[in-house]
Each structure stands twice: as C-alpha cells, then as structure tokens.
C-alpha cells in the first residue's frame, strides 16, 4: 500500500505560463521514457524478483517515480494556467486542448497516448535489471533534450533535479545488478533464471 | 537558503516546507543507498538522525500550517486535509488557486 504526502518532492512555482513548453514536457509524463512508464515498470517487476535488496530498490525507486509523475503534472498544470484561445493556437497547443482542455493527460509530445508497450517485465533478473538501467539513461537523455529547448529558470530548475535523479537511479540499479550477480552462478549468470527456476538445470 | 523560483518573499511556511523537502530528500537518497548496502553503519546512523529531525519538523509544520499526511494534527472543527492547498497549487494566491487564509485555517461553514 501507499500513503500520500501532501507535498512535492522538489518545489515548483512557475510564474509564466507557456503552452509550448507544456506540449514538449508532457513526454516525461506519458511518453516512452516518461515517469509513468518508469513507476509502472519498476513496481510491476518486483513480484518476480527473488532478491530482497533488489525488491527494495524496485519498490523505493518506483515509489519515487510516482512523486516525479506528480512533479511533471504540476509543471504541466502551472504552464497552462490562465491561457487565452489565441495563446493556445499560437503555441500549437490547440490539438491537445481540443481533447483535454487543460486537464493533465498522459501522452507523448507527438500526441501518442501512454502505452504499456513502453515498459518491459520479462520475469528474468538480468533482462529486467538491464532494461531498468537503459530506461534511466533514456529518461536522462529526454531531460537533456528538454533542457536544450527551455530557457525559463522556473521550469529548468525542477527539470534539472529530475535529470539528476535519473543518474542516481542508474547508480542504484547498478547496485541492484551487483547484488543480483553476487547471488547468481558467478561462472555462468545465464545457467538459470532464479526468478523462475528452482535450481540450476542439469547440463 | 537558495531560492528555487523567481518571485516575491519566502514566507515562514515556505521556508519550513523547503526544509522538510530537503530532509525527506536526504531520507529518500539514503533509503535507496541502504537497499543495496543494508549493513552500512554510517548510512544507518545518518538515516536515523535525519528521520528524527524530519519527524520533529513535520509535527510542527502540521500543527502550525497544514497536514502532510491525512488526519495529522488537529481536526476538531473541520477536516483540514481538504481545507489546505494541494501541492500543485502552492504559491498562487493571485489566481484563486489557494484558498483564502480563513478557509485554509479550518473555516466553519459545515
């Protein structure tokens, strides 16, 4: 279960609305490497993970990703306050607006709705953990790209924080992979999948 | 203390919230580290010490301003959980996003 805390992980107060920024940042909510995909991926992978430490990392990183979903949603909400129809059309936000007004809906910047196809749950220790390492790097690249396009410091500061979290999570999944490999057959990590096989198969 | 956004003064409430955010960030960071290094004594001691500081400040914040977890602090005359701003509304009194102070403090209309 979870308990909600009525606070953001990092402060966000955006003075100047900007629907163009909202239209690209939305990829970090519902895009292929966004925060919703991240939390769903890690929290789902926990159930087949045989090692306590790794389940802890999946649980706690996955939970932090939920706080990042809230941060990105907050940025989107604040960037779309008090807009006029003219500002909406001018920024190209009209195509989103017609379906969602200024509600926060998980989709990629190109308009594709969130899809579970963005995540992998293979039920295999090495496959899942290496997917997680790659996911953190891909999310980091997406933040790099956003920071190349965005000038407003009110928006950049929380995005920079989130970018740093991707790097830290990559390190923590590195810990997870090390712990898992320490517990696996060091001569042949692929000899069995400890998430399924009860014992190493006979040669 | 560094300002993270560009306008206005920092109220005592915002300052306290910022400190709570710093402390819970330190806790989160240490938690993730401890998951992969569960016997690291230095990290264990740091976690306990930071948790104690967080708990004290959270209790004071909730008593003075607003609940962080539902049901915290006093709810004698109104359920304060829905009488205080949500995090995404924080700091926009000019837009009507934030409830008036009298209402935020509990109101009494129900």
DSSP string, chain A: -----SS-SS-----S--HHHHHHHTHHHHSTTSHHHHHHHHHHHGGG---HHHHHHHHHHHHHHHHHHHHHHHHHHHHTTT--HHHHHHTT-HHHHHHHTT----B-TTSPBP-GGG----S-HHHHHHHHHHHHHHHHHHHHHHHHH---HHHHHHHHHHHHHHHHHHHHHHHHHHHHHHHS-TT-TTS--TTT-SSPPP-
Q: Give me the pLDDT at residue A186, please.
A: 86
Q: Over the range B46-72, which residues count as b (16 or more CB within 10 Å of their CB) and which as e? A: bbeebbeebeebbeebbeebbbbeeeb
Q: Is B12 left (phi over 0), alpha (psi -120 to 50) or beta?
A: alpha
Predicted local confidence at residue B77, as pLDDT = 86
Domain carrying residue A166:
21-183
CA A62 – CA A132 distance, rounded (Å): 11
In this predicted model, which residue has the larger pLDDT, A19 or B4? A19
Check residue B11 and give its pLDDT: 81
Whether residue A174 is contained in a domain is answered as yes
What's A121's domain CATH number? Answer: 1.20.1260.10
Q: Which of A1, A11, A71, A154 to mutate to test the interface with B (most CBs of B within 10 A)?
A: A11
Kind and range of the H or E run holding B28: helix B12-36
State the residue for tokens 């090495």. A126
**DSSP β-bridge partners for residue A107:** A113
Per-residue pLDDT at A77: 97
Task: Give me the percent of chain A exceeding a pLDDT of 90.
Answer: 92
What predicted TM-score, i.e. pTM, was given to this entire model? 0.91
Q: What is the pLDDT along chain B (110 residues), one digit of tens a residue?
A: 344 444 555 688 889 999 999 999 999 999 999 999 999 999 999 999 999 999 999 999 999 999 999 999 888 888 999 988 899 986 544 444 444 444 444 444 44
Q: What is the pLDDT of residues A117-134, one digit of tens each?
A: 999 999 999 999 999 999
Structural domains of chain A, count: 1
Residue A196 domain-assigned?
no
Q: Collect all residues of chain B within an 8 Å Cβ-Cβ radius of residue A9.
A: 21, 24-25, 28
Alpha carbon of A155: minimum distance to chain B alpha carbons (Å): 9
Q: Tally the residues of chain A.
A: 203
pLDDT class of A202 with cuts at 50, 70, 90 = low
| Sign of the four-CA dihedral A138, A143, A148, A150 | positive
Half-sphere exposure at residue B63, Cβ-oriented, CA atoms within 13 angstroms: 6
Question: Using a CB-CB distance cutoff of 8 angstroms, which residues of chain A are in contact with residue B66?
Answer: 6
Q: Which residue of A has its CA nearest to B80?
A: A6
Tokens (6 digits) for B40:
């690291």
**What are the pLDDT digits (tens) for A79-96?**
999 999 999 999 999 999
Instruction: Give pLDDT, residue A91.
Output: 96
**Pairwise CB contact (< 8 Å): B4 & A4:** no
What's the complex ipTM?
A: 0.93
Task: Answer for the pair B3, B10: CB distance below 8 angstroms, yes or no.
Answer: yes
How far B93 CA lies from chain A's nearest CA (Å)?
12
What is the rounded distance in angstroms from the CA atom of residue A105 to the CA atom of residue B97?
20
Chain A residues inside the 8 Å CB shell of B21? 7-11
Domain segments of chain B: what residues? 11-65, 75-110
Is residue A107 included in any domain, yes or no? yes
Residue B2's Cβ-side half-sphere holds a number of Cα atoms within 13 Å equal to 5
- B74 versus A104: the higher-pLDDT residue is A104
Mean pLDDT score of chain A? 96
Surface-to-core class of residue A7, CB atoms within 10 Å of its CB (0-12 exposed, 13-18 middle, 19+ buried): buried
What distance in Å separates the CA atoms of residue A153 and residue B55, rounded to the nearest whole number?
A: 32
Checking if the pLDDT of A19 tops 60, the result is yes
Query: What is the arithmetic mean of pLDDT over A162-177?
Result: 98
């Amino acid at each position: 279960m979870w308990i909600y805390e009525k606070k953001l992980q990092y402060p966000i107060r955006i003075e100047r609305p900007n629907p163009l920024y909202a239209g690209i940042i939305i990829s970090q909510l519902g895009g292929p490497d966004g925060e919703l995909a991240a939390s769903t991926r890690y929290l789902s992978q926990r159930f087949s993970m045989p090692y306590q430490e790794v389940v802890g990392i999946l649980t706690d990183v996955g939970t932090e990703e939920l706080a990042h979903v809230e941060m990105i949603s907050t940025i989107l909400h604040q960037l779309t306050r008090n807009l006029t129809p003219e500002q909406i059309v001018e920024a190209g936000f009209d195509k989103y607006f017609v379906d969602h007004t200024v509600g926060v809906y998980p989709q990629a910047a190109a308009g594709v709705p969130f899809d579970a196809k963005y995540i992998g749950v293979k039920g295999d220790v090495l496959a899942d953990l290496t997917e997680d390492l790659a996911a953190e790097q891909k999310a980091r690249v997406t933040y790099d790209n956003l920071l190349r396009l965005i000038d407003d410091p009110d928006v950049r500061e929380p995005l920079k924080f989130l970018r740093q979290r991707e790097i830290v999570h990559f390190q923590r999944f590195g810990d997870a992979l090390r712990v898992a490999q320490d517990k696996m057959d060091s001569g042949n990590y692929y000899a069995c999948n400890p998430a399924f096989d009860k014992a190493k198969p006979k040669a | 203390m560094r300002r993270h956004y560009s306008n206005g003064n920092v109220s005592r409430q915002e300052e306290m919230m910022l400190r709570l955010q710093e402390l819970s960030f330190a806790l989160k960071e240490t938690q993730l580290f401890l998951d992969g290094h569960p016997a690291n004594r230095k990290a264990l001691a740091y976690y306990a010490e930071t948790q104690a500081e967080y708990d004290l400040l959270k209790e004071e914040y909730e008593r003075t301003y607003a609940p962080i977890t539902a049901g915290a602090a006093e709810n004698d005359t109104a359920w304060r959980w829905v009488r205080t701003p949500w995090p995404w509304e924080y700091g926009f009194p000019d837009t009507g996003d934030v409830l008036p102070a009298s209402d935020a403090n509990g109101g009494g209309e129900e």
